[in-house]
Structure 1
Amino acid sequence: MDSLHSTMNQHIKGKHLSFEERVIIQTRLKDGLSIRAIARELDRSPSTVSYEVKRGTVLLYHGKRKRYKADHGQSVYQTNRRHCGRKSDFLKKSRFIQYVNQHFFNDGWSLDVCSNRCRAIGEFSSSEVVCTRTLYNYVDRGLLDIKNYDLPEKLKRNTKLHHVRKNKKKLGRSIEERPKEIDQRKEFGHWECDLVLGHKTKDDEVLLTLSERMSREFLIIRIPDKTSASVMQAFKGLQRQYSEHWNDIFKTITTDNGSEFADLSNLEKISNTLVYYAHPYTSCDKGTVERHNGLIRRFIPKGDIITHYSLQQIIDIETWCNSLPRKILAYHTPDEIFERELDRIYQTA
């Protein structure tokens, strides 16, 4: 007994039983020791020894006798170990993986959209897909055709320091006067506005961008330059387009303090639209439109001449942005939400 005990390794809490410990259990049971006595010798819980005895017991003499065998207990343990733990669903869900690759490369969807849009519209059941985190793990392990350099947001790093600058001119009503209810994004008709520039050293066209805060609908308007006159001309064109419904669709507009928006507050004189100006050098005050401008940069990199892009290409970019399912919209598209709100406005008019 002493020799067997001396050869046993000191027990480490949480460690599984070793074959040597199973041999000791077999020997002590043959000697007539109780489960609790064996557990004290092994420094184990009596339940651990009891469960092990049940797993390793075999029938002998044509089923007339039961006896614990260390080698059988070890065999059962190894079999159970092979079956434990989570197994990869990659091969079982090949149809979903093909769906991910197709929409990622052909439609520009994110992995999160691929994982959840199909469930939102009932194309796949929950048991047929894997979660967003698992898709990113597949990318890291090289199981997908998608690589990390295909994920611009994953590789993005913010290295700029935020500087608070004072004495910036104020062009109109401050964003601090904007009703707090607008921050909740529950009411339709509140927009953010900005400009996307092309080549800074050449005479080039500019993109006027607007994003509706609730639906995330995104408008891209091509204007000849970044003067305040060109910006106002674009807004007058929008006003003619929506005519009598303008006040219901464009309730407020939030923009920055750039000189190109100096005349935007004049909209208040000809309509019920209220214009708010963000804090100086605080782009997060209009983060929705800034985020959408980043989507434009996937197609028109900084420094590219916007004039080289056709009107149809600009329209295609706008269409792609508005047909991209969003997590924050329960994986519906901005177009779906925007059209629903327009229908409501037209029906109540």
Structure 2
Amino acid sequence: MGLHSSLETRVEALGLLLAGASAVSVAVVVGVPRGRVQRWARLAGMRFEPGSRAGLLRVGLSGAGGAAGGHGRRLSLADRALIQAGLAQGFSLRRIAGLVGVAPSTVSREVARSRWSYRGRWQYEAGVAHQVAGQRRARPKPRKLDQDPWLRAAVVEQLNARFSPQQVAGRLPLLFPGREDMRVTAETIYQALYVQGKGGLRHELTVVKALRTGRAGRIPQSKLPRRSNRPWLDGARLSDRPAQVTDRAVPGHWEGDLVVGPAGSGIITLVERSTRFALLGRLPGTRDSATVIDRLTEMIGHLPSALFSTLTWDQGTEMAEHARFTIATGCPVFFADPHSPWQRGSNENLNGLIRDFYPKGTNFNTIPDADLAETQRLLNIRPRQTLNFHTPAEKLDQYLQGVALTS
């Protein structure tokens, strides 16, 4: 007798027992010895009461291949045979659950995920369901990035462009529309980066760091009092800034700061609040206010006037001569509150990204102009979650095209 026919015989026997037949009569019906029927019953957890009230007493919580009761036990082959037999007898799922000794929801989930339709009728077979369940529990499971070389190559390419795992995951649907096979979660990418042995992504990357920061928590906000000895702030505080700047709906409002290095070196960093488009400008070995204003004026000189409406800065002394900048460009400068970097969140994020390229201690006087221009390009083609994983360059192009059409 083959495995399939033997299983059918066992299921039939268990079903007859559940229906109230004695082991002797079941043995005659299915054509096997009574001892075998009783062994099948014991494996399924059935117990019989001897004497004048002989018959099926209850179904216990044990079974071949299953854990012995308790929370979270797995269904055994005998449990699944009971489920099949109960379904064949037309029992309700709740009654089957009582016979097997599990919650009704366990039986409901088992039947829902393991049944199939044949000639318009739902079928459930214990042996097939048990085998599939074993395959689901098999470890280790193959990782998606190990199975698809095209997806893996796309992920590696974007990580080498210094995209974060979240940005890579969000960018893939834009790069491969309609391609469900070219989708992966950020968590899957993180796990592949953390793998040190075979299958890890780190050895395929050309960048030194795949993840920008190792910070485990946020830095608390400063509780220091406000500074009050800066006369150039009068009339140019954040509270004086137009309200339309806050909602980021209209491009043209920028945030700026300095990223500094040794020997008086530094770069000016500007980011547009709506599109997140970034501009970087090197300082010529000094960071006094006159030099910063001159370099800043030069940086925005080639931009359309409609694209530079306001500039928000911190309260550093490098912007003490901001009135001269406003006269030269027509762009007013506003200053964030002291110890409140979240009021210039886009620029703070940009500076963090720049530190990924140029760690603290970098002397910017030694960085070639071509390298700085490439850094600016990479930052502007970096997909952003806040832009629905479009890039700053794409969003700026969309805005400029709209301006050209209306002019």
Task: Please give the TM-score of this superposition, normalised by the length of structure 1.
Answer: 0.76
Could you tell me how far 1:328 is from its partner in structure 2?
Answer: 1.8
Q: 1:81 aligns with which of 125, 128, 133?
A: 133
1:104 aligns with 2:159: yes
Larger Rg: 2
Q: Which residue of 2 aligns with 1:335?
A: 393
Secondary structure of the structure 2 residue equivalent to 1:196 = strand
Query: 1:195, 1:208 within 8 Å by CA — same for their partners in 2?
Result: yes
Deviation at 1:337, TM superposition (A): 1.8
Q: Mean alpha-carbon deviation: is it higher for 188-197 or for 131-140? A: 131-140
Partner of 1:317: 375
Deviation digits for residues 162-205 of structure 1 (CA, Å, limit 9, x no counterpart) = 23223333433111222333222110100001011111xx3x33
| Cα root mean square deviation, aligned | 3.8
Separation in 2 of the partners of 1:180 and 1:295? Answer: 28
**Residue 256 of structure 1: CA displacement?**
0.8
| Shift of residue 347, structure 1, vs aligned partner | 4.8
Report the Cα offset of residue 252 of structure 1.
0.5
Pick the aligned partner of 1:144 from 194, 200, 206. 200
Which 5+ residue runs of structure 1 have no aligned equivalent?
A: 56-71
1:149–1:155 contact (8 Å) kept in structure 2: no
Compute the displacement of 1:112 (Å). Answer: 2.2
Matched, 1:178 2:232: no
Moved more, 13-22 or 337-346: 13-22
Matching residue within 115, 122, 147 for 2:169: 115
1:93–1:194: structure 2 CA closer, same or farther, 3 Å change rule?
same
1:134 partner SS: helix
The AA in structure 2 aligned to 1:276 is F
Question: Which runs of structure 2 are paired with 1:1-349 in the superposition (5 Å)?
Answer: 1-2=48-49, 8-9=60-61, 12=70, 15-18=73-76, 43=101, 48=107, 75-84=127-136, 88-105=143-160, 107-122=161-176, 125-142=179-196, 143-146=199-202, 150-155=210-215, 157-159=217-219, 162-170=222-230, 171-172=232-233, 173-199=236-262, 202=263, 204-224=264-284, 225-238=286-299, 240-242=301-303, 245-246=304-305, 248-349=306-407
Out of 89-98 and 163-172, give the one that drifted further.
163-172
Deviation at 1:323? 1.8
TM-score (normalised: structure 2): 0.66
- Match in the other structure for 1:59: none
Counterparts of 1:281 and 1:46 in 2: how far apart (Å)?
Answer: 58
CA contact (8 A) 1:8 1:21 kept: no
1:63 paired residue number: none
Q: Distance in 2 between matches of 1:267 and 1:7?
A: 86
Q: Deviations over 1:65-103 (max 9, x none)?
A: xxxxxxx97633421313547974334422101211122
Range with bigger deviation, 117-126 or 128-137: 117-126
Higher relative contact order (Cα pairs below 8 Å, separated by 6+ residues) = 1
How far residue 345 of structure 1 moved from its aligned partner, in angstroms, is: 3.4
One-letter amino acid of the counterpart of residue 82, structure 1: G
- Once the two structures are aligned, what percentage of the paired residues are identical? 23
Q: How many angstroms apart in 2 are the aligned matches of 1:35 and 1:2?
A: 22
Do the aligned partners of 1:228 and 1:263 also contact (CA within 8 Å) in 2?
yes
Distance 2:250 2:276 in 1: 12
Q: Compute the displacement of 1:22 (Å).
A: 7.1
Secondary structure of the 2:333 match is strand
Alpha-carbon separation, structure 2, partners of 1:24 and 1:115: 44
Q: In structure 1, what residue type is equivalent to 2:296?
A: F
Distance, in Å, in 2 between the alignment partners of 1:345 and 1:23 is 71
Residue type at the aligned position of 1:100: V
**Worse overlay, 119-128 or 279-288:** 119-128
Once the 2 structures are TM-superposed, how far is the Cα of residue 156 of structure 1 from its aligned partner?
Answer: 5.6
User: How many pairs were matched up?
Assistant: 320
Q: Tell me the amino acid that sits aligned with residue 182 of structure 1.
A: V
Whether the 8 Å contact between 1:8 and 1:20 is mirrored in structure 2 is no
Following superposition, the deviation at residue 220 of structure 1 comes to 0.8
Q: 140-149 or 40-49: which moved more?
A: 40-49
Contact 1:35-1:46 at 8 Å conserved across structures: no
Question: Would the alpha carbon gap of residues 233 and 83 (structure 1) be closer, same or farther in structure 2, given more than 3 Å must change?
Answer: same
Q: Cα–Cα, structure 1 residues 6 and 289, in superposed 2: closer, same or farther, change >3 Å?
A: same
The 1-side partners of 2:382 and 2:83 are apart by 63
Q: In structure 2, what is the Cα distance between the partners aligned to 1:179 and 1:342?
A: 22
In the other structure, the counterpart of 2:8 is none
Question: Can you give the 5+ residue segments of structure 2 that lack an aligned partner in the other structure?
Answer: 1-47, 51-55, 63-68, 115-123
Q: Is the 8 A contact 2:271 2:278 kept in 1?
A: yes
